[in-house]
C-alpha cells in the first residue's frame, strides 16, 4: 500500500511538473523555480514530507547533474559552439577563478564571513547551471557564437567548481594554497578530458558497427556510454562531469544510427532528472530557516551579479583577445554577465560542505537557495529584453537540418528521414536540383499527412518529410549536400557552403 501511495504521489508530481512547463515557457522563467516550489509544498511546511539527509541529496544530485550534462552534450551541435569554445574554456577556468576570488573578497568584507566560508560560497556560485541555461537560451534567437559560448561554458564549468568545493570542504585541513588547487584541478580535468575523448569516439565506432535488433536500444546504449565516461573518470580520480560532457558531445555529433531519436530520449531523461532533482532540493530546504538568510543572500547575490560575474567575463575576454581569437564586444560582455544563470548546480554543490559537517554549512545552503530563487526570477525573464536592447538578437536565423538514419545492414545501405524546417533553403527546390549522388534517391515525400513517390520535377516545401535511400559509402556526401542546400539553397556550392 505504501508503495502504491508513493507511486501515485510521484506520478502526480511529474504530471504537474510537465504541465508547468507551459507556464514557464510563457513567462520566460526557468522551470527549476516551479519545480523547487513543488518541492517546498511537499516538504515540512506543506504536506510534511521529511528529508534532511544532505549526503543522500548530494549523491542523487550529482547523478542527476550527470544526466543533465549528458543531454547537454548530446543535443549541442558542434558546428554551432565551435567558434565559442575558446571563450567558453577561458570562462570555465580563468573566469571561474576570478569569480571565486572576487565574490569571496566581497562577502568577507561586506558580511564578515571567514575566508573558508567565503571561498566556499564563491566556488559554489561560480558555476552557471546547464539546465537553466539550456532551458532559457535555446528559446532566444541569439547569434551562434554567443549562444555557443553560453552553452559550452555551462557544460565545461561544472567540473572545476566541483573540484574546488570538494577541496575546501575537507574537515580539519588548512586552506589549500593556490598552486595546490591549480595543480589538482589541472590533473583531474586532464584525466576527465582523456576519458571523455576516449569513450566518445570508441562508443560511436562500436554503435555504428553493431546492428542492434531494436532502434530503442541505441538511445539506452548512448546514455550508458555517457555514464561509463562519468564513473570511469571518477574512479581514476578525474573529473566525471567533464568526461560525461565531452563523451556526450562527441557521441551527439558523430554519425550514429537513430541520432534524433537518441537526442529525444536524452531530453526526456534530462527532464525527468531535473524534475526529480529540483523537487528533492525543494523538500530538502527548510522554509522556516530561509527568512534569516534573505538579507545576506541578496547582498551576496548582488556582489555575484554586479562584481564577480562581470569581472570573470572581462578577464576571460582579455585572455581570449591576447590569444588572437575574435574579441567580445562590450554589448556581448554585458549580455554574458547578465546571462550567467544559476540553478541546481550551486544548490547541489552547497550540499557537499553540509554533508562533510562543516560548521555553518546549513546556513550556506540556505543562502545559496535564496540566491538561486531570487536572481533566477530577475535574470531569466529579462534576458530577451536585454538582448533586444543591446541589439544582439538574431531573429531570422533558421534552424539547421536534422537527419535521422536507420541502418539497412543486409543491403549495406541507410534510410535517411528528413524534415524540412521553416526557413530552410530546401523550400522551393526541385528534386533534380538537389544533385544527389547516383547511389542515392528521394524515394518518398510526406506532405500534410499524404505520402507520395516524387518525380524529378517535384518541388519541395517547408515541413515536408523526405525518405532518402543511400548506400553506406555515400551517406556522408548525401547528408552534407542536403545540409548545404538547406542553408544556402540550390546554389550552395557557388557560395562555398559544403554542409559540414
Q: What is the pLDDT of residues 20-59, one digit of tens each?
A: 777 766 665 667 778 888 888 888 777 778 888 888 888 9
402-495 has the same fold as 2-390 = no
Question: Ranked by mean pLDDT, which of 204-213, 261-270, 304-313, 321-330 comes out on top?
Answer: 304-313
Global pTM exceeds 0.85: no
Q: Look up residue 34 and give its three cell numbers.
A: 516551479
Integer Cα distance of 453 and 121 in angstroms: 62
- pLDDT per position as a tens digit, 144-169: 778 788 888 888 888 888 888 888 88
Task: Note the pLDDT of residue 135.
Answer: 65
| pLDDT tier, 324 (very low <50, low <70, confident <90, very high otherwise) | low
Q: Look up residue 145 and give its three cell numbers.
A: 557564437
On the question of pLDDT at 396 being above 50, the answer is: no
Q: Please, what is the Cα angle at 126 between 65 and 56, to 5 degrees?
A: 35
Q: Please, what is the Cα angle at 143 between 139 and 146, to 5 degrees?
A: 90
Task: Note the pLDDT of residue 100.
Answer: 93
- Asked whether 133 and 151 are in contact (CB, 8 A), the reply is yes
| Of 11 and 26, the one with more pLDDT | 11
- Asked whether 75 and 265 are in contact (CB, 8 A), the reply is no
On the question of pLDDT at 395 being above 70, the answer is: no
Tell me which architecture the domain covering 2-390 has in CATH: Up-down Bundle (1.20)
Among 246-250, 310-314, 334-338, 404-408, the least confident range: 404-408
| pLDDT tier, 408 (very low <50, low <70, confident <90, very high otherwise) | low
Give every strand in the sheet of 413-419, ordered side by side. Answer: 402-408, 413-419, 465-471, 440-447, 450-452
On the question of pLDDT at 354 being above 80, the answer is: yes
Neighbour-count burial for 455-485, b at 16+ CB within 10 Å, e otherwise: eeebebeeebebbbbbbbebbebbbebbbbb
Burial class (CB in 10 A: 0-12, 13-18, 19+), 216: exposed
- Asked whether 379 and 338 are in contact (CB, 8 A), the reply is yes
Domain ranges of the chain: 2-390, 402-495
Give the phi and the psi of residue 430 in degrees, each rounded to 5. Answer: -85, 155
- pLDDT per position as a tens digit, 224-242: 999 999 999 999 988 888 9
- Asked whether 317 and 333 are in contact (CB, 8 A), the reply is yes
| pLDDT tier, 98 (very low <50, low <70, confident <90, very high otherwise) | very high
Other CB atoms within 10 A of residue 399 CB: 10
Q: Look up residue 228 and give its three cell numbers.
A: 561509463
Question: Ranked by mean pLDDT, which of 4-13, 103-112, 429-438 comes out on top?
Answer: 103-112
Q: Look up residue 10 and give its three cell numbers.
A: 510521484
As beta bridge partners, residue 447 has 450
| Of 499 and 106, the one with more pLDDT | 106
Give the chain's mean pLDDT: 84
Element (H, E) at 465: strand 465-471
On the question of pLDDT at 119 being above 60, the answer is: yes
Q: Is the Cα torsion angle 487, 490, 494, 498 positive or negative in sign?
A: positive
Domain 402-495 annotated CATH 3.30.70.1450: yes
Residues in the chain: 500
Q: Look up residue 363 and give its three cell numbers.
A: 546556513
Integer Cα distance of 382 and 387 in angstroms: 9
> For residue 497, what is the DSSP state?
-
3-state secondary structure of 403: strand
Amino acid at each position: 500500500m505504501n508503495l502504491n501511495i508513493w507511486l501515485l504521489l510521484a506520478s502526480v508530481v511529474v504530471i504537474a511538473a510537465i504541465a508547468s512547463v507551459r507556464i514557464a515557457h510563457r513567462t520566460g522563467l526557468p522551470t527549476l523555480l516551479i519545480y523547487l516550489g513543488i518541492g517546498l509544498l511537499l516538504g515540512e511546511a506543506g504536506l510534511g514530507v521529511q528529508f534532511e539527509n544532505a549526503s543522500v541529496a548530494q549523491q542523487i544530485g550529482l547523478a542527476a547533474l550527470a544526466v543533465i550534462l549528458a543531454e547537454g552534450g548530446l543535443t549541442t551541435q558542434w558546428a554551432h559552439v565551435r567558434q565559442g569554445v575558446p571563450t567558453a574554456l577561458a570562462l570555465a577556468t580563468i573566469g571561474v577563478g576570478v569569480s571565486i576570488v572576487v565574490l569571496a573578497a566581497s562577502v568577507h568584507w561586506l558580511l564578515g564571513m571567514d575566508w573558508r566560508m567565503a571561498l566556499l560560497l564563491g566556488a559554489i556560485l561560480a558555476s552557471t547551471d546547464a539546465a537553466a541555461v539550456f532551458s532559457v537560451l535555446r528559446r532566444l534567437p541569439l547569434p551562434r557564437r554567443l549562444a555557443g559560448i553560453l552553452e559550452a561554458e555551462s557544460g565545461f564549468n561544472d567540473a572545476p567548481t566541483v573540484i574546488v568545493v570538494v577541496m575546501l570542504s575537507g574537515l580539519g585541513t588548512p586552506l589549500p594554497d593556490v598552486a595546490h588547487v591549480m595543480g589538482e584541478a589541472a590533473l583531474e580535468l586532464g584525466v576527465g578530458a582523456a576519458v571523455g575523448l576516449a569513450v566518445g569516439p570508441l562508443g560511436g565506432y562500436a554503435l555504428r558497427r553493431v546492428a542492434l535488433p531494436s532502434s530503442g536500444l541505441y538511445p539506452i546504449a548512448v546514455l550508458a556510454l555517457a555514464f561509463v565516461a562519468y564513473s570511469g573518470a571518477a574512479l581514476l580520480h578525474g573529473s566525471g562531469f567533464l568526461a560525461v560532457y565531452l563523451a556526450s558531445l562527441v557521441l551527439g555529433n558523430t554519425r550514429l544510427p537513430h541520432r534524433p531519436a537518441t537526442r529525444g530520449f536524452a531530453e526526456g531523461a534530462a527532464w525527468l532528472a531535473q524534475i526529480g532533482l529540483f523537487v528533492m532540493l525543494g523538500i530538502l530546504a527548510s522554509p522556516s530557516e530561509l527568512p534569516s538568510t534573505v538579507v545576506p543572500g541578496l547582498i551576496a547575490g548582488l556582489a555575484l551579479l554586479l562584481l564577480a560575474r562581470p569581472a570573470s567575463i572581462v578577464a576571460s575576454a582579455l585572455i581570449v583577445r591576447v590569444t588572437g581569437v575574435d574579441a567580445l564586444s562590450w554589448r556581448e560582455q554585458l549580455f554574458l554577465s547578465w546571462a550567467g544563470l544559476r540553478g541546481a548546480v550551486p544548490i547541489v554543490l552547497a550540499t557537499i560542505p553540509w554533508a562533510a559537517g562543516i560548521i555553518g554549512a546549513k546556513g550556506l545552503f540556505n543562502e545559496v537557495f535564496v540566491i538561486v530563487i531570487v536572481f533566477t526570477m530577475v535574470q531569466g525573464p529579462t534576458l530577451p529584453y536585454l538582448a533586444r536592447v543591446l541589439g544582439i538578437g538574431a531573429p531570422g536565423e533558421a534552424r539547421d537540418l536534422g537527419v535521422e538514419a536507420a541502418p539497412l545492414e543486409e543491403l549495406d545501405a541507410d534510410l535517411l528521414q528528413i524534415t524540412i524546417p521553416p526557413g530552410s533553403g530546401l523550400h522551393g527546390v526541385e528534386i533534380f536540383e538537389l544533385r544527389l549522388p547516383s547511389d542515392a534517391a528521394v524515394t518518398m515525400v510526406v506532405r500534410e499527412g499524404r505520402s507520395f513517390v516524387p518525380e524529378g520535377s517535384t518541388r519541395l516545401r517547408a515541413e515536408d518529410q523526405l525518405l532518402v535511400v543511400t548506400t553506406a559509402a555515400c551517406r556522408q556526401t548525401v547528408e552534407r549536400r542536403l545540409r548545404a542546400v538547406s542553408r544556402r539553397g540550390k546554389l550552395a556550392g557557388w557560395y562555398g557552403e559544403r554542409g559540414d
